[in-house]
């Protein structure tokens, strides 16, 4: 009986060409595994395609709810944003995919897991760190790094290779963007984006929405509720997290929300330029932050911001299955204990405009915040506070004056 390899299969040209390549070079039975993270109709026709290319079996595993609840929400609650812009749409999905690949490999008794990530990108790191953490005994095959036997360097090469093996597929050698899509976002790389001097061709590029200029002319009021940092409803309709993200994608896309153009620093040391569409995610992150600023105290917010940046770095680098990520998440989960309430905002031409926030745990006290004197705050108390708070500055200034006077008398 032949040994088995589990292939992370997207149905695209790269992973389709890898099926006959694995059979030819390793004599494996190829078990394809497509992980559904909410990428929609991209999954249509995959079984026929995989079988036509020589796969012994195809799994289509839907982890959309798990992705939303176990990976997206911890990042939302942490406020994890990489390099101040990127909402980690691809990064968050990779550990869940790696986990499922390992599960299928164990089920099938496979000796190896194969992925189609290139040797220049971040995904090779994310996939492989996840697999190593969960199944250190399973071999990893990365064709794009095996240049001695993987000689395909272009779409044209891959199409020719498939045709030479009697596989005729509905792919063309026309240039197109390199995209990654799931329920949270879609990323775009390639074509004009490869030169930072070029403006994105948004007319050709966008999938989930429109630019603010093309957005509808009427603003839209939205109300969301949260329970312990988790969204529970939109406009009074209770929904699970996945359905909330789907609905927010619809709303955000219509109003031109969540389009970013970023030059980011990859883990492997190079800069890359991409455009990300994250309409629903942008709204959800903003709504969650809007509620947090009402219920979290100053010191916790300050510490949480630093941890959020660290959390984003770990996720971006593929270090999900680490003790540090678990420890940081434990801190974040504690901060969410009272992040409960209602958030209102208005969507208009790419903007998310606050329209009111309420929470039973609000730390905002109108008697304190008001210009009128309340029972809890005596203006005279500020005298002593400022004296002590400013004491280091005053002492330093006095000492500097003494030194200057001493030098002038010499």
Q: Are strands 29-36 and 57-62 parallel, antiparallel or unpaired?
A: parallel
Q: How far apart are the first and last CA of the chain?
A: 95
182: its two tokens: 């799931």
Residue 94 is a catalytic residue: yes
Residue with tokens 């045709």, as numbered in its chain: 163
The one catalytic residue among 178, 261, 266, 346: 178
The one catalytic residue among 10, 49, 94, 273: 94
The one catalytic residue among 123, 126, 180, 273: 123
Exposed/middle/buried for 201, CB within 10 Å: 0-12, 13-18, 19+? Answer: middle
Residue 14 is a catalytic residue: yes
Residue with tokens 């060409």, as numbered in its chain: 17
Euclidean distance between CA atoms 63 and 121, whole angstroms: 24
Any bridge partners for residue 30, and if so which?
5
Task: Name the residue among 221, 236, 240, 231 with its Cα closest to residue 341.
Answer: 231
The one catalytic residue among 14, 49, 180, 273: 14
Separation in Å, CA 336 to CA 80, 245, 301, 339, 361: 14, 19, 11, 5, 11
Separation in Å, CA 198 to CA 31, 172, 194, 211: 41, 25, 8, 17
Q: Just list the catalytic residues.
A: 14, 94, 123, 178
């Amino acid at each position: 009986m032949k040994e088995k390899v589990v292939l992370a299969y997207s149905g695209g040209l790269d992973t389709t060409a890898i099926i006959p390549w694995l059979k030819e070079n390793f004599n494996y039975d190829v078990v394809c595994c497509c992980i559904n993270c909410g990428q929609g109709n991209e999954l249509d026709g995959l079984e026929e395609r995989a079988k036509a290319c020589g796969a012994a079996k195809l799994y289509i595993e839907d982890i959309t709810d798990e992705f939303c609840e176990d990976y997206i929400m911890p990042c939302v609650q942490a406020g994890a944003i990489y390099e101040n812009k990127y909402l980690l749409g691809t990064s968050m999905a990779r550990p869940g995919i790696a986990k499922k690949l390992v599960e299928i490999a164990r089920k099938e008794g496979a000796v190896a897991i194969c992925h189609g990530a290139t040797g220049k990108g971040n995904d090779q790191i994310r996939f492989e760190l996840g697999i190593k953490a969960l199944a250190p005994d399973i071999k990893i095959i990365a064709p794009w790094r095996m240049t001695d036997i993987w000689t395909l360097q272009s779409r044209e090469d891959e199409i020719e290779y498939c045709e030479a093996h009697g596989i005729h597929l509905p792919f063309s050698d026309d240039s197109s963007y390199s995209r990654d899509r799931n329920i949270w976002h879609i990323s775009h790389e390639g074509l004009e984006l490869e030169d930072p001097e070029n403006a994105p061709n948004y007319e050709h590029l966008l999938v989930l929405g429109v630019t603010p200029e093309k957005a509808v002319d009427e603003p839209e009021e939205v109300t969301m509720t949260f329970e312990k940092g988790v969204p529970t409803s939109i406009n009074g309709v209770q929904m699970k997290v996945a359905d909330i993200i789907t609905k927010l994608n619809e709303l955000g896309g219509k109003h031109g929300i969540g389009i970013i153009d970023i030059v980011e620093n990859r883990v492997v040391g190079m800069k890359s330029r991409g455009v990300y569409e994250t309409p629903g995610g942008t709204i959800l992150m903003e709504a969650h932050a809007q509620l947090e600023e009402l219920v979290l105290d100053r010191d916790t917010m300050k510490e949480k911001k630093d941890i959020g940046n660290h959390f984003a770095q770990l996720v971006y680098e593929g270090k999900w299955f680490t003790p540090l990520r678990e420890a940081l998440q434990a801190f974040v989960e504690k901060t969410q204990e009272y992040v409960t309430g209602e958030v209102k905002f208005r969507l208009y031409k790419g903007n998310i405009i606050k329209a009111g926030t309420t929470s039973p745990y609000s730390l905002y006290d109108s008697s304190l915040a008001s210009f009128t004197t309340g029972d809890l705050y005596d203006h005279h108390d500020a005298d002593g506070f400022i004296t002590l708070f400013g004491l280091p500055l005053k002492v330093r200034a006095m000492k500097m004056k003494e030194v200057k006077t001493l030098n002038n008398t010499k």
